[in-house]
Structure 1
C-alpha cells in the first residue's frame, strides 16, 4: 500500500500513486518521495518517477504501513478502509435523506441533501487532510508485519466486506465518474493555461494543436475496436461486431479530454478556454475604470479585497499567517534582548496601536514604479510606459514574500495618465477597499471572524515615493529629504549625526502641508498632502515610506564611487582598465556567485560605471580578490571602497542589534569623511545623505533589506516578456493585467506558498556503524539512538543551496566568525546537519576578507542548520597562494 505524503490518501500500487499525484497534486512546487525513509523531493512528477525507478526499483511497498480505518457516526459501520470509501458511505445516508452532521472539526453544519453537503464540503473543507476530521472518525492501526514487508506482496488490499456493498451502488459510481471527469478536465485546462500564460504560446497555435490532437484521436477508432476484440478473445469472450463498435464509440465520445477539445468543447478555442478558467479557477478579473471616455483613457484595477478573500480561503495560507503572528506575539511577551529581525521589531510598528494591539492584522506592503515595456532607447520610448502598483502580504515569512507568485497586481495604468489625472484619481478604488479593510475587515471562514488590516508601508524608489507622498520630485536643490528638512547645499557641509537637521514629525509635516495649500507653492519640500494619508486612518508619511537600499546604494552610491575611485587608481597606474576587465571576466566565480557575476566596465565610463544592483554588489564584494594585490594598502581610494563594502555587509544583514547599528553609524561617518577628503570638489549626492539616516531607519522599520524593492523590480520582467511575445499594443494595461490574473489563479490552485523545508534529488541511506568514528560519536551525541542516516552531496532549504565543499559560519573565536568546510551533508530524523572540517580565519584588513588555514587540532564538527551563525553558504577563493573567503552580509557573533 502506498500513502500520499501530501494528503494521506492510500493507493494500491506505485502506478496508482503517480496517477493520483498527477490528478490531485499536479500544481505543487515539489513532490516528496513516497518511501517513508527517503527524504528526496523533486520539482516535477517525471523526476519523481525516474527516482523511483532508479533508487527504489525493488521496493514494492512502503517500509512502514500505518493505515487508517474510518468509522461512520450515523451507523455502526467502523471498517471503512479509506477516505474515499468513507465519503461514499456518507453519501448513501444522504441519499436516504438522513440528517448528517459535518464530520470536520469545529464545523456544526447539518443537512440531509446530498448536493448541499458536497457543495459545503468543497467550499469549506477543500483542501483537507484526515487530521481535520473530528476525533473518533479515524482509527490508526499499525500493519507492519513480516507478511506486509514481503517484497512479493505488491499490494495490500482493504477488507472486501467493507467496500463491497458500496461499490455496487450505481448512483455512487456515476458520482465518482462525474468527479473524475471534472478533475481530468480541470487538470488538462490547467496544463493549457500554463502553456498559454506561462510559456506564452499564442492561443491560435494552441487551437491548432488541439484540433490536430482531436483528429488523431478520432482516427484511432479502428485501433480501439481491435484492442477490445483482442482483450475479449484473451478472456474467452465474444461479442457482436456492432456491439464492439458501439463500445469503442462510447469510450471515445465519453473521454473527458476528447469532449473538451472537440468542436464547441469547453477547451476548444481561446475564448472558451478563458471562459472555462474564469468559471473554474476563481480568476479575479481586473476592473476597468474610465478616466476620460472621450479620449479613451482608463486604467485597470484588480480588487484587493477579493484577492484577500480568495487567499484567506486557503487553509495552508491561513495557517502560515497565524503561525507567523503567534511567533512575533510570543517574542514580544518574552521580552528577550532587543534585536531587529523584521518590521514587527521596529518602533513604528510598536507605536501604532492598530497594528500592535495583539490582534491579527492584515499588513499590506505596496510597491509603485514606472517601467518601460518596449525598448527604452527605441522609437517606442515612453510611448507605452506603464505605472504598476503591486502588493504583498507582510504577514508571511520573508521567504514566502520574495516569490514572484506572492506579489500581486492591483493597478496597471499608463504613466502619462498618472501625471494628467493624479494619484488620487488613479488610486481611488484601491483606497476605498483599504478603508473597508481598516474599518470592517474581511471575514475569514477558517478563523470564524473578521480580520482588519491596512497598508503597512510603501516600497518605492525616491522619485515615486516623493511623488506619491506629496514631496518635491526634484533632488537638485532645496529640501531633498523626506525624513528631515535638510537642503541640497546643507548636506555638503553637515551630516545627520550632528543633529542639525530637524526630523519631519507628524505635526511639523501637517503644518508644511497646510502652508503649501494656502500659498499654492511648496513649503520645506512639501507640495501637497499624501494621497494615502488623506484617506487612511492608520497610515502616515513618517512611518510609511522607508528608504530603498537597492536604489540608494547598489544603483546609486556604489556605481558612482566605483567610477571615481577606479579612475583615480587607473590614473596612478596601479592597473589599466583593460587589465581590470580581464581580471573581472577571468575570475573563477563559484556556485551562486556565478549567477550575478559583474560585467565589464565600459571604456566610456566617467561619473558612473552603470550596471544593475546585483552586478554592482558582486563587483564591490569581489574587487579585493580581483585587483587587491595590485593596490597599495595605504591608498585612500581603496580605503573608501573597503569602508563602503563594510557598510553594504551591514545593510544587507537580516538581523541587527544596537551594537551593529552603532557600528554601522560609525562606518557611515568614516566613509563620508574619507570620501570628502579625497574628492573635495565632488558634491555629495542626496543618496549619500539618505544613507546617513539608515541607522535610525533600522530602529524604526527593522532591517532595511526586508523592505527593498529588489523582488518587486523582478516582477516587471513578467509583463515585459508578455508584450514582447504578443506584440499587441491595443489597451496594454488590460492585456497585461488579464494575463497576470490568469497566472495568479494557477498559483492559487497550487495552495503552496512556501517551498519545502528540504529539497534534494539524490540521497544514500547509510548505517551509522560504517561511518568514521568521530562522525559516529557526533551523531550519537546530537541524535542518540540513530542507526541509519541519509547522505547527499547537495540540498536546498528555503531557497538556499548547500553543497559539499562550501563554507558555513558557525560559532566565533575572539569576536571573529569560525568557518567550517562542508565534508558531508546528513539528513537525520528529517533535520539537516553538516559535518564540517574546522578552519581558522585570520582577518585581512586590506582585502576585507578572511585568510583560511587548517585548524591545528584538525577538529571536525557536526553542525545543525539552526546552529549556524549565518544560514548563507560561502565559497573560498585562491588569492595568490592564500585561500580566502569574504562575507556576503554582516554576521552577529
Structure 2
C-alpha cells in the first residue's frame, strides 16, 4: 500500500517519492542527522542520501514493497486532484480551506466538514491523531497498476496522470521550503556570510530564469518533434521563457520572492520555521550598552512541541532505593516540595560562563569577552541532554557590563520567565495544558558560581567554600568528614544576608558580599542547594594537572625516566578508540615552574587513567609518590561514575581521606588548595545532586565553539551580541525543523547470516529470545545511546568476588532494535601496581545483551610488557 515515513508516519506511493519526502520535508541529510533505512526490518541509518541509495541497491535490491505492483495516490474530494504523499495531500486540502472552500473529513465513519483551516486542524488532531493508511475513505485512495516493480526513483505514474496528480501550489511550497532550508543551513550551520549568500541567490536566479531558457526551449522542441508535433518557434520560445520565469526557484529567488534578499530571507525563516527571536534589553542607552535575551518560555514551547521529545521529558522515573543515577535521585530534588506532586514538573539547569570570541592573547581579548547563560531541560535523558542542540541559549552579555550592572539586572528577564514558570507554568500544546517548572540548579565553574551567587570571587580569603562555613586556614589541619566545618544552611544564609544589608562594613560576611538574585526571586530555588560542584575544573583542570606536575618532578629526580623519554612514551603509545581522540599532550619543559602540566580536561583525564600503562613498569612497587597518583586515579574513577550506591559513596570518602594523608606525607611543604577542600565535600554532594557528571560543565563548554566559529567566519563586531544570538537561533530553528529525535541505535553497515552457521551456544541463546529466528543481522560497529561499539573492544560483564569480569567483542547482533554482542569470555586478574586487569582468553563464547552490561562504556586493551591489560575509565557499581 505504499511506503511509510518513519519520522512523521505519512505515506508515499514509491520508494523514490519517500526519498524525496525525507530530503525536502525533514531535511535529514547533510546536517549530521541520521536517516533510517526505508525497510522496517533493517536497523541501518545514514548521514547522506548517497549512502542510503548504495545500501538499498546492495542489500535490498531484490526486496519488494509492502504490496508490489500497486501504487496508491491520494485523491482530493473537492477537486479530484491527486497527491503522491500524505503530507502533500493535507497541504493541498489546506489550500482549499485557506480559500474558505468547504472540505469533508477524509477518514472512515466521519461526516465532519468545514471551510475553516484551524477548525479542520483541531478536528484532525483530536479525532484522527493515530490514523493509518487503512483509515482513509475508499474514495480517497486511488490504486493504479504499476508498469514495473523495480521501485526505481522515477514515479510510476504515467505522464497523463502526473499532469493532474501534482498540485502546483503545494509543489511550489515544498520547493520553497526546501530552498529556504538550504539557505538557512548555509547561513546558520556552515557560517556562510550574508554577502556570499546574496551572490549565490543572484546567480541561482539568473541560471534558473534566464540562462536556462535556451536549454528548456531545446527540451520542449525535442519533445514535440519526438511526438510528431509542429509548433511555431516563437511559441516554443515564449513557453520556455514562461516556464523559467514561473519556476518555483525563480519565483523564490527573484526580486519579489520571499528569499530574494537577506531581509526577506530572515522574515521567511522567522515566519515558517520554529525561530525564537532574541530580545535586546538596554542597560545604558547613552553608552550603548545592552544584552540579548532569548525567552525561555517560548523556547520551552517550541522544544516540547515535538511529541517525541515531550514523551522523553515526561517519562522520568526515579531509581530504586540506594542507587543514584540522576539528579532525580538526589536529596536536593526529593526534598523540594515543588516536586512532591503527582503531576510532572519541569526542571531547568542553567549554565553561566565567560568566553573569549577573539584571540585570548590579542589586543581585543577583554573587549569582546562575553558572559553566556545556557540552559537545558533536565527532564530529558542524559543521551539527549548531551546533544549540543538540546542546550539552549538564554542570554549573552559583555562581561564588563555584567560586572558594572551586576547579575541582578542582567538576569532580570530570565528571572521573570522562571517566576512565571513556577507560578503559572507554560502551555504545552501536545498536552493541551500548562506545565509548571522551576530552576533546579546553576552549573558553573567556581568563579562563575561565586559571582552569580554573591560570594567572594577571590579564593585567597578566609571563607571561600560555598558548601560550608569552614575557615580556609583550617583546611590543612582538618578534614571535612571530621565535622569541624559546619555546612551552610538556609537559616544561616538569611542571617548573613541581613547582616550584610544592615552593616556594609561587614562585607564580606562569611564569604558573602550580597544576596543571590536567583534565591531572592524564585520560591523553589535556594543558594544553599542550587550550586553543585564542577568536576571538570576541580579535578581535571585543577588537582590532576597540579599533582601530576609535582609527582613528575620527583620521578625525574629519581631518574625513573627523563622528560624526553616520558614525552616519547606519551607520543608513541598505541592509543585505540576514544583514547586516540583524547590522547594526552606532551609535558611542557616549564611544568615545574608553572606547577601544572596544563592541558584540557579530556587530555588530563586520559593521562591519569593511562599513566600506569605508560610508565608503571618503570616505577618500583611501593613508591609513595606512585601510590599517591594511584589513589588519585581511584578517586577520578569514582567521581565520574554514572551510577552510585551508598557503598560507593562511602568508598569515595575513604579514598579522598587516604589521598589527603598521602599527599601531606609526600609533599609536606605543599599546602592543600581550596579545590582539595571542595573535593572532600563530593561524597555528600553526590547524595545531594546524584552523579556529579550529570551536573558538570563538560558539555556546556562545548557550546562556546559555535559562537567562536560565527565570529571567525563573519568577522562582524558592530553588534556582536545580536549577531551571535540571531545566528544561534537560526541554527536551532534549522535543527528543530526536523521532527525526529536522534535514534538510540545507529548502524551503517550490516550483513545477514543464517543462525545455523553460528556457534551452537550462540544459536541456543538467540533462539531462546526468538524461537522462529532463522537469520541474524551482524555488524562490526554500532552506536547505541551515543556509545560506539566495535569488534575488538572490551566489555565489562558482571563480577566475580567483587571484581568485574570482561569479554571481547567478536561480532554485534542487531535483533528487534536491540544490540547483542557475540563475545569471547576473558579471565581477569587485578594488577594493583598498575591499577589494571590482566586478561587471558578462556576459549568460551557467549551472547551478551547491551542493556545488561555492568558498564556501558567499552574499553580498549593494551599490551604492556608481555601482559594484555585493560584499565577502567570509571568505577563500576554492582547493581
Q: 1:491 aligns with which of 472, 475, 481?
A: 475
Q: 1:843 to 1:760 in 2, by over 3 A?
A: same
- Residues 19 and 83 from structure 1, CA distance in 2 versus in 1: closer, same or farther, beyond 3 angstroms? closer
Q: CA deviation at 1:69?
A: 11
CA 1:308–1:56: 2 relative to 1, 3 Å: same
Which aligned pairs between 1:374-523 and structure 2 lie closer than 5 A? 374-520=358-504, 521-523=507-509
Q: Which residue does the alignment assign to 1:143?
A: none
Offset of residue 519 of structure 1: 1.7
Is contact 2:458-2:464 (8 Å) kept? yes
Give the conservation status (yes or no) of the 8 Å contact 1:346–1:702. yes
- Name the CA distance, whole Å, in 2 between partners of 1:399 and 1:473: 33
**Residue by residue, what CA displacement relative to the aligned partner does 1:289-329 show, whole Å, maximum 9, x if unpaired?**
111111111111111111112222222221221223xx34x
Q: Specify the alignment match of 1:40 in structure 2.
A: 44
CA distance in 2, matches of 1:85, 1:805: 47
In the TM superposition, residue 786 of structure 1 has moved relative to its aligned partner by 0.8
Give the one of 549, 574, 580 matched to 2:566. 580
Aligned to 1:144: none
Q: Deviations over 1:63-93 (max 9, x none)?
A: 8999999999x99x9x999746975897799
Closer, same or farther: CA 574–139 of 1 in aligned 2, 3 Å: farther
State the secondary structure of the residue aligned to 2:315.
helix
CA distance in 2: counterparts of 1:24 and 1:206, whole angstroms: 22
Aligned to 1:266: 258
Distance 2:95 2:744 in 1: 41
Partner of 1:853: 840
Report SS of the residue matched to 2:324.
coil
Deviation of residue 206 (structure 1)? 1.9
Aligned residue in 2 for 1:49: 53
Partner of 2:792: 805
Residue aligned with 1:337, SS = coil
Tell me by how many angstroms 1:761 deviates.
Answer: 1.2
Q: Secondary structure at the match of 1:359?
A: coil
By how many angstroms is 1:339 displaced? Answer: 0.5
**8 Å contact from structure 1 (residues 2, 61) kept in 2:** yes
Q: Matched residues in 1 for 2:162 and 2:582: separation?
A: 62
Instruction: Report how many aligned residue pairs link the two structures.
Output: 860
When residues 729 and 82 of structure 1 are mapped into structure 2, their CA distance, relative to the original with a 3 A threshold, is closer
Q: Residue 405 of structure 1: SS of its match in structure 2?
A: helix
Tell me the distance in 2 between the aligned counterparts of 1:48 and 1:222: 35
The separation in 1 between residues aligned to 2:682 and 2:146, in whole angstroms, is 63
Please give the root-mean-square deviation of Cα atoms over the aligned residues, in Å.
Answer: 3.3
Measured in 2, the distance between the counterparts of 1:700 and 1:584 equals: 38
Counterpart in the other structure of 2:865: 880
- Counterpart CA distance in 1 for 2:119 and 2:156 is 27
Distance in 1 (CA, whole Å) between partners of 2:189 and 2:151 is 43
Q: Structure 1's 620 and 92: CA in aligned 2 closer, same or farther, altered over 3 A? A: closer
2:540 aligned residue (539, 548, 554): 554
Unaligned runs of 5+ in 2: 139-144
The corresponding residue for 2:828 is 841
Q: TM-score, normalised by structure 1?
A: 0.90
Q: Is the 8 A contact 1:12 1:155 kept in 2?
A: no
Alignment partner, residue 130 of structure 2: 132
- How many angstroms does 1:854 deviate by? 1.2
Q: Which moved more, 1:793-802 or 1:241-250?
A: 241-250
Distance in 2 of aligned mates of 1:374 and 1:81: 51
Instruction: Give the distance between the partners of 2:364 and 2:112, measured in 1 at CA.
Output: 61
| 2:812 matched residue in structure 1 | 825
CA shift for structure 1 position 781 = 2.5
- Measure how far apart 1:49 and its partner are: 1.8
TM-superposed deviation, 1:59: 3.9
Please give the alpha-carbon distance, in whole angstroms, between the structure 2 residues aligned to 1:152 and 1:4: 20
Secondary structure, counterpart of 2:529 in structure 1: helix
8 A contact 1:27–1:749 mirrored in 2: no
Q: Distance in 1 between matches of 2:789 and 2:494?
A: 51
Alignment partner of 1:533 out of 494, 513, 519: 519
Q: More displaced, 147-156 or 440-449? A: 147-156
Aligned match of 1:16: 17
Choose the corresponding residue for 2:681, options 684, 688, 693.
693
1:863 equivalenced with 2:848 (yes/no): yes
Q: How far did 1:829 drift?
A: 2.5
Segments of structure 1 that go 5 or more residues without pairing to the other structure are 141-146
Aligned to 2:662: 674
- For the 8 Å contact 2:108–2:137, the answer to whether it is kept is no
Is 1:182 aligned with 2:173? yes
Q: Which residue of 1 aligns with 2:710?
A: 722
Task: Check if 1:642 corresponds to 2:643.
Answer: no
Kept in 2: contact 1:60–1:154 (CA 8 A): no
Q: Which moved more, 1:314-323 or 1:395-404?
A: 314-323
Distance 1:71 1:132 in 2: 20
Q: Which residue of 2 aligns with 1:780?
A: 767
Quote the Cα distance in structure 2 between the aligned partners of 1:84 and 1:405: 26
SS of corresponding position for 1:267 = coil
1:212 aligned to which of 203, 228, 241 = 203
CA contact (8 A) 1:495 1:692 kept: yes
